[in-house]
Amino acid sequence: MPTNLDAFITLIALVLAIWSGIHVILNKRDPRGGALWLVIILFFPFAGPALYWIFGINRIRRKSRFRTSSQRFSGFGGFAPELIHEMSSVDPDIRPLVQLSAKTTQRPLLKSNRIEPLYEGEQVFPSMLEVIGGAQRSVTLSTYILDRDTVGLRVVDSLCAAADRGCEVRVLVDGLGTSRKALKMASSLREANAKLAVFHPLYGLPLRHPGINMRIHRKILVVDGKVGFTGGINISSRHFFTRYKTSELVRDIHFKVAGPIVSAMQEVFSDDWLAATGEILEEGVFFSKPEPAGDCLIRAVASGPAENFEKIYEIILGALRTAREEVIIMTPYFIPDRVLIQALRSAVLSGVEVTILLPERSDHRVVQWASTAYFPELLEAGVSIALVPPPFIHSKLLVVDRRWVLVGSANLDPRSFRLNFEFDLEVYSFELAEELAFYAEGILEGSERLTLEKMLARPTAMRLLEGTAKLFSPYL
């Protein structure tokens, strides 16, 4: 017969299940995800609610200094009107996209910027080290991965040297992407009076950080508030083609920027640093008065689980809807939802040539299986898909009509859209779009273009495995 203890345990399990289930129903936007969590909660007493509260909550509250445009850079009076691109002067063909981006991000489209693509580690890291070496006031660095290797050591040494010169140095790394060994290496920053913080560290979880599934995936470096770097490259020797064997290499692209957009980048870092440490970065040290540096129109796009909706995702959908001739997509991870698939199909049906470049071999096998399961439907619709042979292509870019570009840290998958803190640049530039399209075309020449016939002729067992992985797409 059941004892009083059994009845008490059953009551606690029931209360936890009801409490968790109510939270799922009230807060889950995706009905598929919500339904799965309800099943887990109901069929796995105690474990189900525990898993939900650790992994299933996709929104967190964060403090921010820059919630409204009027609060941004108050010490400098905000962006001068002449640095903000007015809607009245926007080309009518892209005005809907500009309006969508402005309302989605609540950030201005800034004029007078300069942006320079840097290819692979051979171009990226020497440029970064040179700029850090010339720092006079401050250096801020945010990265998902800081590897304990040659590049990691060189960057840490350069940051320590900047701190020894009297610069204020702040380094923010992710607690999952950066290993404990690398953190031990980076501890020399603290000895040099620089500050190092770990975003959502894994130790002490889940009590320290309930949102352990949410990572900071941004790559931002700002020096003296005047020069910035962003893109997809982590601090790792794997980006050097001469460093490792072919199977271990990572191909990627990064961007060096100057102009008013650097202040917007520093704003994003400042909010992340505030959330991680509680420290407010001083405007006079870390921010510089925005000044013209070129002729590019650029908007900062920060997205993450602290936002009310997926900003980068919304902008990508808007770009696909406004495309007229050509869309080029390059991403290492591609797991589209039904809305994104329909947007790609609609673009092709309206006469747009859509090309997607993906790595031939992913570093995440299950993700690749799920991604491949979507290929037949897209190929049937007329989307062109090409698989890029090793080195592993980690570049993330979207080029529309060779006039609009989205580059940065975000992949085309649910994790980047809903879970990770990401940072992209939205760039209106014929020159940059043409250069990146040329870069993609060069990679395309050595890639395998898929056909529907080839995909359908593959072994049934393989297609079954991929279809099974596809069922878990919302959670990959």
Residue 432 has pLDDT above 90, yes or no: yes
Judge whether 69-90+109-295 and 311-475 match in fold: yes
Identify whether the C-beta of residue 303 lies closer than 8 Å to the C-beta of residue 312: yes
Domain ranges of the chain: 8-53, 69-90+109-295, 311-475
Give the tens place of pLDDT for each residue, 181-229: 888 888 899 889 999 999 888 765 444 454 567 789 999 999 999 999 9
When mean pLDDT is compared across 51-55, 64-68, 434-438, the lowest value belongs to 64-68
What is the distance, to the nearest Å, from the Cα of residue 254 to the centroid of all Cα atoms in its chain?
13
Q: What average pLDDT does this structure show over 6-32?
A: 78
Rounded Cα gap, residues 282 and 217, in angstroms: 24
Structure tokens at 54: 């650790």
Predicted pLDDT of residue 283? 87
Taking the alpha carbons of 62, 227, 70, 281 in that order, is the dihedral positive or negative? positive
For residue 80, the model assigns a pLDDT of: 74
Q: Binning pLDDT at 50, 70 and 90, where does residue 71 land?
A: very low
**Residue 200 has what pLDDT?**
81
pLDDT computed for residue 59 by the predictor: 59
The arithmetic mean of pLDDT across residues 2-26, rounded, is 78
Number of H helices, E strands in the chain: 18, 17
CATH class for the region spanning 311-475: alpha beta
Taking the model in full, what pTM does it have? Answer: 0.88
Instruction: Tell me which residue of 319, 272, 257, 6 sits closest to 117, measured CA to CA.
Output: 257
At 237, give phi and psi (nearest 5°): -70, -15
Residue 93, exposed/middle/buried by CB under 10 A (0-12, 13-18, 19+)?
exposed
Measured between alpha carbons, how far is 106 from 302 in angstroms, rounded to an integer? 10
Residue 56 has pLDDT above 60, yes or no: yes
The answer to whether residue 144 scores a pLDDT higher than 90 is yes
pLDDT band at 175 (very low <50, low <70, confident <90, very high): confident
Q: What is the DSSP string of 312-333?
A: HHHHHHHHHHH-SSEEEEE-S-
Q: Give the CATH fold of the 69-90+109-295 domain.
A: Endonuclease; Chain A (3.30.870)
Question: 383, 449 in Cβ contact below 8 A?
Answer: no
Please report, rounded to a whole number, the percentage of residues in the chain having pLDDT higher than 70.
Answer: 88
DSSP for 196-231, written as a single string: EEEES-STTTTTS-S-TT--B---EEEETTTEEEEE
- The β-bridge partners of 196 are 171
Q: Based on the number of CB atoms within 10 Å of its own CB, is 45 exposed (0-12), middle (13-18) or buried (19 or more)?
A: middle
Cα 286 from Cα 356, distance rounded (Å)? 39
Whether 73 has a pLDDT exceeding 60, the answer reads no
Res. 69: pLDDT tops 60: no
Sequence-ordered list of residues with C-beta below 8 angstroms from that of 369, at least 6 positions apart, any chain: 465, 466, 468, 469, 470
Does residue 74 register a pLDDT over 50?
no
Q: What's the average model confidence in pLDDT over 77-91?
A: 71
- Euclidean distance between CA atoms 226 and 239, whole angstroms: 25
* Cβ(147)–Cβ(234) below 8 Å: yes
| The pair of three-digit structure tokens given for residue 324, joined into one six-digit string | 């007229």
Give the β-pairing of 138-143 and 168-174.
parallel
The pLDDT tens digits for 367-417 are 999 999 999 999 999 999 999 998 899 999 999 999 999 999 999 998 888
